[in-house]
Amino acid sequence: MGFDRNQYLRELETIVNIDSGSRNPAGTGKVAAFLEEKYRQQGFQTELVSVGPEVGPVLVATNAPDEPIDLLFIGHTDTVFLDGEASRRPFTIKGERLYGPGVYDMKGCSLLTAYLMENLPAELKRSLNICVIHNPDEEISSFYSREVIIEKAKMAKFAFVMEPSAADGSMIKERKGIEKLKIHFKGRPSHAGDAPEEGRSAINELAYWIVQLNTLIDHDAGVSVNAGTIQGGTVPNVVPEHAQMELDYRYSNPIDVTAFLDMLEDLQIHAAEKEIGIDIAVIGRRPPMVDVPGAKALRSVFEDVGKQMDTVISFKKSGGVSDANFTTSVGVPTVCSIGLIGGAFHTDHEYVELDSIFSRLELLTAVIAEMSRRKMFCTSADRLRVT
């Protein structure tokens, strides 16, 4: 394997030192353009797909125009950090760890994907149809790019979501689904002392909703409800006309979202009876990442290759979400969080373990080779049927 670690580190420094928060189209665009050039140099066909002015482009790179796709790789170019963070704490190497905004989640992993494509054996790369997606808005629920992801996932045999691995090296096999809502309540103001009966309290209705929604909580079943922010009212002696909350509902079983949506309908009826206006905006939505047919066989390849390399491969469930939620929703066997090892993501001390760069590159190359040996990819007959 002709991996040049020093070149990788120089290029990682370049993209980590670019501010690329989800709402920074120029920054995510720069990172996408940098990665695009990496794929072009390898002979990939590339496209920067616009998904609206609010965010940067989606980079799509393919080594062949044919369908179906054998392997779909997904990563993202955005971070959670505000502009100025890259200059405040630029990329640094301290001992055996790398630091900087987004170095772990997930610029190091996105760059690793390009290096994985570069280091795949030529005969293996020629035999596979590969598609790579780098989207600009994963940290804000892939609200703009999800249709591009789903469209490509529908053509794919397998998906590798290159999110970072946990500090112990574990990967993800299941993730919760999420409904994230911003709910505005509009009541009727009045004097709280002289005419309280004339008022319609937006805050009282909000409080009623929280109490009712919390009855859905079932931690054993993987259901959680969290009113993460609330605002409302003006002064204590006025019945509040306005209130607002941001709600986070997470669930493991796809059927559990039905109970949540049914309750929302009932609560809106209650609000109407109390003469409270309701406006609900969806600010985040992902179905759960579930075990689909073929997923266990895919994980077994990782486990078997890990044993051959004397590396423990473990998979766990997560309450967090990623773009793997979309790929399994259309039935694609998926492994998630197979990228670099590190920790403390979304903080000012996130890090990557330096030695995980080559070890992950070596593992993923071996996994793809083993999948090919086991004839898990599309055959010539499959491609003829599609064309």
Dist. CA 202–CA 278, nearest whole Å: 9
Per-residue model confidence (pLDDT) at position 387: 45
Torsion (CA) 114, 355, 166, 58 in degrees, nearest 10: -10
Percent with pLDDT over 70 in the chain: 97
Residue 138 is given by DSSP the state G
Q: What is the mean pLDDT of residues 110-123?
A: 96
Kindly list the distances between the CA atom of residue 141 and the CA atoms of 138, 149, 225, 282, in Å, as whole numbers in the listed order: 5, 12, 18, 11
**pLDDT beyond 90 at 378:** no
Of 70, 78, 174, 323, the catalytic one is 78
Could you tell me if 339 and 322 are in contact, meaning their C-beta atoms sit under 8 angstroms apart? no
Per-residue model confidence (pLDDT) at position 383: 54
Sorted by sequence, the CB contacts under 8 Å of residue 208 that are 6+ apart come out as 267, 270
Of 19, 36, 105, 138, the catalytic one is 138
Reported as a single tens digit per residue, the pLDDT across 328-348 is 999 999 999 999 999 999 999
pTM attached to this predicted model: 0.91
Q: What is the mean pLDDT of residues 238-242?
A: 98
Q: What is the mean pLDDT of residues 217-236?
A: 97
**pLDDT beyond 90 at 386:** no
Query: Confidence class of residue 65 from pLDDT cuts 50, 70 and 90?
Result: confident
Q: What is the mean pLDDT of residues 230-251?
A: 98
What does CATH list as the number for 177-286? 3.30.70.360
Reported as a single tens digit per residue, the pLDDT across 26-50 is 999 999 999 999 999 999 999 999 9
Six token digits for residue 53: 């002015």
Reported as a single tens digit per residue, the pLDDT across 344-372 is 999 999 999 999 999 999 999 999 999 99
Per-residue model confidence (pLDDT) at position 67: 79
E-strand stretches of the chain: 45-49, 58-62, 69-76, 92-94, 97-99, 130-135, 156-161, 171-175, 177-186, 224-232, 242-251, 277-286, 315-318, 334-336, 342-343, 351-353
Reported as a single tens digit per residue, the pLDDT across 136-187 is 999 999 999 999 999 999 999 999 999 999 999 999 999 999 999 999 999 9
**pLDDT beyond 70 at 275:** yes
Dist. CA 120–CA 97, nearest whole Å: 26
Dist. CA 33–CA 120, nearest whole Å: 22
Each domain of the chain, given as residue ranges in start order, spans 5-174+290-386, 177-286
Per-residue model confidence (pLDDT) at position 382: 62
Reported as a single tens digit per residue, the pLDDT across 306-336 is 999 999 999 999 999 999 999 999 999 999 9
What does CATH list as the number for 5-174+290-386? 3.40.630.10
Active site residue 138: yes
Query: Confidence class of residue 209 from pLDDT cuts 50, 70 and 90?
Result: very high
Per-residue model confidence (pLDDT) at position 380: 56
Query: Confidence class of residue 1 from pLDDT cuts 50, 70 and 90?
Result: low
> Which of 11-15, 64-68, 192-196, 302-306 is the least confident region?
64-68
